[in-house]
Structure 1
Amino acid sequence: MIRRIRRLGFRLRSFAVKLVAAAFIFAIVPVLLYQQFNAAEHQRNALMLRLVQEQGRLAGEAVFPLLDQFSPRSADRLNQAVNRLADGGISIKVLFRPAANSGSRNFLLVASAPETGVEEGRAAMDRLAENGVLTQLTASCEGNEPLALRLPAGAGASQGGSELLTYLAPHATRGGCWVVLTAQPTGTLPEQTIGQPYWQHPEVQVAVSIYLLMAVLVLSIFTDVWRNLHRFRDVAQSLVRGEAVSFAAENYIPELSEVAAEFDAMVTTLKRSEALLRQAAEENAHALKAPLAVISQSMEPLRRAVSPGDSRAQRSLDVIAQSIDRLDVLVSTARRIDETIAGLIDRPRRRVELSALLERLGRGYVRLAADRSIGLELRLAPGLVVTGDDDMVELVAENLLDNALDFSPSGSVVTMELRREAGEARFRVLDQGPGVPETEWERIFERHLSHRPGTTEGGGDHYGLGLWIVRRNAEAMGGRAWAGQAPGGGLTITVSLPLAP
């Protein structure tokens, strides 16, 4: 459970997860704000509409007493009252339909403020008729009910402008039906707020611009860092393939310049260390093998000088010769260790025809196995190519075959397989020997560990480096190696290597 929690926490710290989370937040916040703004917009519009309606109602009630006493002589008083009420920024029209004429086209424009000429008045009445307003007035007069409605843009135009909101107040008299129509012309505060979507307000547009700028900025920060890390990954993979690339050259974020420079310095140091290790291995091997060769050559005069009957001296010479041979093997082994460690630092990434290499190597081992009365069966899939190094792959295969032949009894069969599995090239060597307990499957890859009958760890001519080199070389080429049980109780060693692109 703790490991799962740690793994989950590790994934949650991913830049990709945080980028997705930030994008989701920036996407969901406008939705929530839209819902709130939309509700506030409806409330504001309802409030402003009611305000305009109340303003129209008051204007109508102020005109009603004059309508009850209207006569041609009092027309000037009506015009003065309408103009005085229109000073508040509203447009007022007083319409009259005689009782004898009930059609919607029989309404007459009696007074208007702001004042309009005859032609403009006729045009305004035509627009009211075209938009169905006069029909609404007829229904309102018949029911003697006030009516509030929203006029389309252009209806009831005054002075070339448009009137968007209106309040209709009917008033019935003996002579007919009077209607006081109040509207909000273009340019007044109610018209600017009512009927205009909230997202068209300058304040909202500025806030949206700032929000979008912030979202782009934050997401660009995550995206730039995430992409830069992926570029660093590509550079690392290119370095493993042996290409001449640089972290600093692929870095596009100034804050990561020092990190990229340190990476380049580390790569340079590692390459220098790899070269020094190989050079030291060569020099040490040469420096030690030269004295050993001199001592070995000096043994011949000593053997001739010592009497054949002096058994003690002859035994001493034999011990010295054996020690020289062991020292020679130790020097070669130390050189192989240094070269293997150097290979871990500078991983080779060349194309290796694995199928052909193992086929050629296996054919040579068939004769060696036959000399020991052991069969060698090859099951190699053709055409598999991996990235690595020919010498390192050959050394891995040789160590596996040597190890299997050493532990296989006479009359048994050793099998070497190669196949494509899980997007990798996997070759394994199976023997029919005594096998290794499962608890020792990891230990046999340790350095200087050798379990052979009649020897101690690292004793005799075996220094427990074969399987250690197998795993180290596999890891140096980007692969891995592991042990398992073969059918029949023997040992299986499997090595996986990445396929070449």
Structure 2
Amino acid sequence: MATERTSALASSGLETSSEPSTPPLPKSITISPSDTAGARPKPESRGWRQAIRRLAASLTLKSVALAAIFVALPVVLYGQFESADRQMRDLVTRAIQDRSALIAEALAPKLTNGDKSARASLNDDLARYSSDGTILKLMFQPGEERHAGRFYFVASAPKIRADEVAAELDELGQRGILQRISDACMWDAANEIRYKQANGTVELLTSIIPIRATDGCWVLTSTHTTSEFLNTSIGRPYWETREIRVAAVIYLVLAVIALLVAVSIRLSLRRFRDVAAEISQGRIGDNAFSHRNVVPELSSVARDFDKLVHDLRRVSQQIRQNAEDKAHSFKTPLATIRSALEPVRRAVPLDNARAKRALEIVDSSLKRLLDLVIAAQRHDISTAELIEAPRLPTDFTQLVGDAALHFREILATKDIRLIRRLDERAIVRAGQGMLETVLQCVLENAISFSPRGGTIIVTLSVNSETVELQVDDEGPGVDPAKIPHMFERYFSSRPDDDQNAPPSGHAGLGLWIVRRNVETLGGRISAANRIGGGLSISISLPRNGA
């Protein structure tokens, strides 16, 4: 903590004007009105409608909905397609089984009459029924070998050579098909299975038809290798079908494309945000959005943003130039009038009280006009800085120390003690001159109200997310009913018996400029009367631009 007597340049007289002497300026285009330091406004009844509109316009919410649709759609469609395939599979299986049953009925007389000579033409009979590409195989299980599960390969179409029969039976046995055939004989029930041959050819065993005979059990199997049946899901899970796999590949490609589009949009928006941050920090030149943009469809948007930045910079320069021109234009005639009054003042007799009073009124009005010109110039320059000045990390602690040195002279003249309680490394991201203006206006206001021999306490504390500045004085305080209006433009609340106030009054813009700068930086400002007398102004700013 440091205590010292300091002084500074004469106060600009901010926060003491009761009414504006010039036509009111239009409302600021950079800061919207707010109830700072007073009662917070009640939320509007339509707040929930605005929240719904924001949710409806949210890209994140739409992306989540799109992802949910991408997840739910294949599940729903798969169930529908599987149900349709199941119906088609049942129809195909039933048709093939009926056809196989008809073939079995046609062969039954030769197989059940016990005439072995008639069985010599079984290969020719099977060939007649397999002209459409169906592979028919006829096997026989003698009644005495039923429990052994042994079968004899009797005939087939197309015909199999004798040296291939053993290999065919071994293959059927290894794949468990003979057991299925044996079960069909035992239970007299048809069946269907799918299997792959040793050479890689896929065969669809669509039906196993048992034929009872006196000497044993005959089994007719019909196998199909045509694409008409291989494209069905008979004998395998539906997701293994070619249609589902092709659809899954197409769906995944669409999902990847949609994801890439969403990521591209997000990256483009983030790129625009980064460019805006760099512009606000003064680290990038003209046409930055166009140079950084990589999405052709956003080129027009980037050009519009660049034009907007260019227009803002041009407006800022014009505001600054106009402020200097207007101040110069007003100060010159005011100085001329003041100089012209000197001969008149010397010519007025000492006993002419009325003339002397008139000269005092003219002097007071001239000083008030000069204060208004200075306040208007400061306001315009501050507005220009809000528009264009880059936001850079600023050591608030050092600025408070510099402000104390700036006011050293006037504090010493009024015998006011300034106590500083400052935390180190209070870093705030702000434009050049914005925090200096805040400190100057707040300290000027405290000094103008402090009595001779009073104390002003400046406290600067650093929290995890904010930097808090508090300025306490020992002045008369403010009527509690007027505190909500303290930070409005042209507001003044200075007691009539205030002996410390300069005769010219003030412009009533200082604390309004403070509020505007603080809110532009994302902070808050408030005021309250101290318990022992005096006023306390508190300012909260995001730490390091957080």
TM-score normalised by length of structure 1: 0.86
Given the superposition, is the C-alpha separation of residues 449 and 61 from structure 1 closer, same or farther in structure 2, using an over 3 Å criterion? Answer: same
**CA distance in structure 1 between the aligned counterparts of 2:263 and 2:531, rounded to whole angstroms:** 52
1:35-50 paired onto structure 2 within 5 Å = 35-50=79-94
Aligned to 2:195: 152
Secondary structure of the residue aligned to 1:152 is: strand
Secondary structure of the residue aligned to 1:500 is: helix
Q: Does residue 17 of structure 1 match 2:56?
A: no
**CA distance in structure 2 between the aligned counterparts of 1:342 and 1:57, rounded to whole angstroms:** 96
**CA distance in structure 2 between the aligned counterparts of 1:140 and 1:223, rounded to whole angstroms:** 59
The two structures, once aligned, show a CA RMSD in angstroms of 3.4
- Out of 345, 354, 360, the residue aligned to residue 396 of structure 2 is 354
Shift of 1:115: 0.4
Give 1:414's aligned amino acid.
I
8 Å contact kept, 2:312–2:387: yes
1:48-197 paired onto structure 2 within 5 Å = 48-102=92-146, 104=148, 106-141=150-185, 143=186, 145-154=188-197, 161-174=201-214, 176-187=215-226, 189-193=228-232, 194-195=234-235
8 Å contact kept, 1:347–1:476: no
- For structure 1, the 5+ residue unaligned runs are none
8 Å contact kept, 2:126–2:136: yes
Secondary structure of the residue aligned to 2:221 is: strand
Q: Does residue 244 of structure 1 match 2:285?
A: yes
**CA distance in structure 2 between the aligned counterparts of 1:221 and 1:228, rounded to whole angstroms:** 10
8 Å contact kept, 1:92–1:180: no
Q: 1:20-78, CA deviations, whole angstroms, 9 ceiling, x for partnerless residues? A: 11121122111111222233333333333333332222222221110123444223332
Secondary structure of the residue aligned to 1:53 is: helix
Q: Does residue 385 of structure 1 match 2:427?
A: yes
Given the superposition, is the C-alpha separation of residues 480 and 250 from structure 1 closer, same or farther in structure 2, using an over 3 Å criterion? Answer: farther
Q: Does residue 331 of structure 1 match 2:373?
A: yes
Q: Does residue 415 of structure 1 match 2:454?
A: no
- Out of 249, 268, 291, the residue aligned to residue 228 of structure 1 is 268
Shift of 1:438: 5.0
**CA distance in structure 2 between the aligned counterparts of 1:300 and 1:460, rounded to whole angstroms:** 19
Q: 1:137-169, CA deviations, whole angstroms, 9 ceiling, x for partnerless residues? A: 44544x3623424253228x9xx8443324333
Q: Which moved more, 1:198-207 or 1:55-64?
A: 198-207
Shift of 1:355: 0.9
**CA distance in structure 2 between the aligned counterparts of 1:368 and 1:184, rounded to whole angstroms:** 110
Secondary structure of the residue aligned to 2:155 is: strand
Give 1:189's aligned amino acid.
E
Aligned to 2:471: 429
Give 1:496's aligned amino acid.
S
Q: 1:159-182, CA deviations, whole angstroms, 9 ceiling, x for partnerless residues? A: x844332433333434x3132231
**CA distance in structure 1 between the aligned counterparts of 2:147 and 2:368, rounded to whole angstroms:** 128
Q: 1:225-254, CA deviations, whole angstroms, 9 ceiling, x for partnerless residues? A: 444333333322222212325222333444
Q: 1:394-453, CA deviations, whole angstroms, 9 ceiling, x for partnerless residues? A: 231122122223334567643322123462222121335443355533421122211101
**CA distance in structure 2 between the aligned counterparts of 1:167 and 1:85, rounded to whole angstroms:** 15
Given the superposition, is the C-alpha separation of residues 56 and 272 from structure 1 closer, same or farther in structure 2, using an over 3 Å criterion? Answer: same
Q: Which moved more, 1:315-324 or 1:239-248?
A: 315-324
**CA distance in structure 1 between the aligned counterparts of 2:147 and 2:367, rounded to whole angstroms:** 130
Shift of 1:348: 3.7
Q: State the structure with bigger RCO (CA 8 A, min sep 6), 1 or 2.
A: 2
**CA distance in structure 2 between the aligned counterparts of 1:279 and 1:387, rounded to whole angstroms:** 26
**CA distance in structure 1 between the aligned counterparts of 2:434 and 2:418, rounded to whole angstroms:** 22
**CA distance in structure 1 between the aligned counterparts of 2:226 and 2:485, rounded to whole angstroms:** 89
Secondary structure of the residue aligned to 2:491 is: coil
8 Å contact kept, 1:479–1:497: yes
Given the superposition, is the C-alpha separation of residues 470 and 119 from structure 1 closer, same or farther in structure 2, using an over 3 Å criterion? Answer: same
- For structure 2, the 5+ residue unaligned runs are 1-44
Q: Does residue 2 of structure 1 match 2:46?
A: yes
8 Å contact kept, 2:364–2:504: no
- Out of 254, 279, 286, the residue aligned to residue 328 of structure 2 is 286
TM-score normalised by length of structure 2: 0.79
8 Å contact kept, 2:194–2:205: yes
Q: Which moved more, 1:475-484 or 1:420-429?
A: 475-484
**CA distance in structure 2 between the aligned counterparts of 1:139 and 1:270, rounded to whole angstroms:** 89
**CA distance in structure 2 between the aligned counterparts of 1:188 and 1:260, rounded to whole angstroms:** 56
